[in-house]
Structure 1
Amino acid sequence: MKLIVALGNPGSQYAQTRHNVAWQVADELARQQGAVWRAGEHAEQAEFRVLGEKVLLIKPQTFMNASGKAALPAMQFYKLSPEALLVIQDDLDSPFGLLKIKVGGRHGGQNGVRDIIRVLSTEQFARLKIGISRPPAGRDPADWVLSKWAESERPTLEELVWLGVGASLKWVMAGPKEAQAAYNNTDLRPNPESAVQAPVSAAAEPEAASSPIPLSQTAQK
């Protein structure tokens, strides 16, 4: 069994903000897999199977700084090791258009990851980091992460979310090394240096049927 925790903040005011990009990946992943969101004590949950592997997908409803409160009960109930956990997060230190998978390491200032490390007493779990870029000069990072996406960013955002779904499924089926090999060189920025574009088909893993739809049509929970 695998657990995927997508970090974000509950409430309509936070929907479609940079800090909630992981929830956009989770919503698209659930949609593709035909999984239904159900309310839990500390998180919304959706379950599905990929090649026989059960996956529990959760969106903590505890607000970002208390994300561990939602992750820990699932880890304990299913007796999961850290190797069975993938955390999907936004990443200020990565440029918008870039995603990467890593295992272990410090939280990098991401408060949801910080709290999960605290409650699990380990850093040894996988993270799917979705780049949202540093704010423009003079803008407060706290204000930046809670800002809405610009219309000009949406085409890249939709593709980035689609790739995030593919990377999550690759991690489930093949593990972090294979997911890193397939997705860590992707870069959707215009004319990035040494960029390698991932083929669109890379996201179309088994049991991830159906084509991506505009995020405006994806139900936000």
Structure 2
Amino acid sequence: MWKFLKGLFGFKDENKAKEDAMKKFLIVGLGNIGLEYKNTRHNIGFQVLDHLAEQEDLKFETQKLGDLTTYKFKGRTFILLKPSTYMNLSGKAVKYWLTKEKIPLENLLVITDDLNLPYGTLRLKTKGSDGGHNGLKDIQDKLNTTKYNRFRFGISDSFSKGRQVDYVLGEWSSEEKEKLPERLDKSIALIKSFGTAGVNNTMNTFNGK
């Protein structure tokens, strides 16, 4: 009888652990550390998470491989991560915190800039290539899969030939800055929807908006 009860309760504990894991999400904003990068187009991942933290009065703390804070919303736990490894080594931080927090891969969301989308366009995808983005390339390499959720924020390709690096690492134009707060608000709504309504509903609601 004791073995039966132990097995029964052990099974329930295991189920609860799985249930709890499904309510936990790792939201990773890609960017480069340092004041010189703070307001650059390439750092939109950091900017989105900073905007959420500001709205909800959250404080980031420096921990292993990144700055982290936790946001609770509608029974979900969002762990917000800004890797401190620099963009090209982002995968190390992502893999470490996914493993440490026991978060399933389908509950990972990576926020990144995208040159192929018009400025401010939001696009959520469940898989895909790295598109030449070094941060995504390293995440793909460390996780050994292209099947993870990525939220691309359009920065457009309004640069002259040979000026791509300067453009990506450059600061927003005055026109872009003016429109940015509304786009950041929309980005936060997308993150909340991802954790509560699911990835498919979120794609239908926000993609291209």
Taking structure 2 as the reference length, what is the TM-score of the superposition?
A: 0.86
For 1:182, the equivalent position in structure 2 comes to: 205
Query: What are the residue-to-residue correspondences of 1:142-221 with 2, within 5 Å?
Result: 142-186=165-209
Bigger fraction of residues in helix: 2
Amino acid at match of 1:131: G
Which digits, 9 at most, give the CA deviation of each residue in 1:115-142, with x for residues without a partner? Answer: 1111011111111110001142224211
Partner SS, residue 122 of structure 1: coil
Which digits, 9 at most, give the CA deviation of each residue in 1:118-169, with x for residues without a partner? Answer: 1011111111110001142224211110001111211222211111111111
For 1:63, the equivalent position in structure 2 comes to: 86
Q: Does 1:19 align with 2:33?
A: no
- Give me the whole-angstrom Cα distance separating, in 2, the residues matched to 1:24 and 1:177: 25
For 1:32, the equivalent position in structure 2 comes to: 55
- Give me the whole-angstrom Cα distance separating, in 2, the residues matched to 1:32 and 1:172: 18
The alignment yields a C-alpha RMSD, in angstroms, of 1.1
- Give me the whole-angstrom Cα distance separating, in 2, the residues matched to 1:133 and 1:26: 21
Q: Does 1:101 align with 2:110?
A: no
For 2:76, the equivalent position in structure 1 comes to: 53
Among 71, 80, 96, the residue aligned to 1:73: 96
Gaps of 5+ in 1: 187-221
The number of residues matched between the two structures is 186
- Give me the whole-angstrom Cα distance separating, in 2, the residues matched to 1:37 and 1:126: 23
- Give me the whole-angstrom Cα distance separating, in 1, the residues matched to 2:197 and 2:147: 17
For 2:138, the equivalent position in structure 1 comes to: 115
Amino acid at match of 1:167: L
**CA offset at residue 79 of structure 1?**
2.1
Partner SS, residue 67 of structure 1: helix
- Give me the whole-angstrom Cα distance separating, in 1, the residues matched to 2:147 and 2:104: 9
- Give me the whole-angstrom Cα distance separating, in 2, the residues matched to 1:150 and 1:185: 22
The share of aligned pairs that are identical, in percent, is 35
Partner SS, residue 151 of structure 2: strand
Amino acid at match of 2:102: K
Among 50, 55, 66, the residue aligned to 1:43: 66
Partner SS, residue 196 of structure 2: helix
Larger Cα Rg: Structure 1 or Structure 2? 2
- Give me the whole-angstrom Cα distance separating, in 2, the residues matched to 1:88 and 1:82: 15
For 1:189, the equivalent position in structure 2 comes to: none
- Give me the whole-angstrom Cα distance separating, in 2, the residues matched to 1:139 and 1:122: 31
Q: Does 1:131 align with 2:154?
A: yes
Which digits, 9 at most, give the CA deviation of each residue in 1:188-212, with x for residues without a partner? Answer: xxxxxxxxxxxxxxxxxxxxxxxxx
- Give me the whole-angstrom Cα distance separating, in 2, the residues matched to 1:136 and 1:97: 16
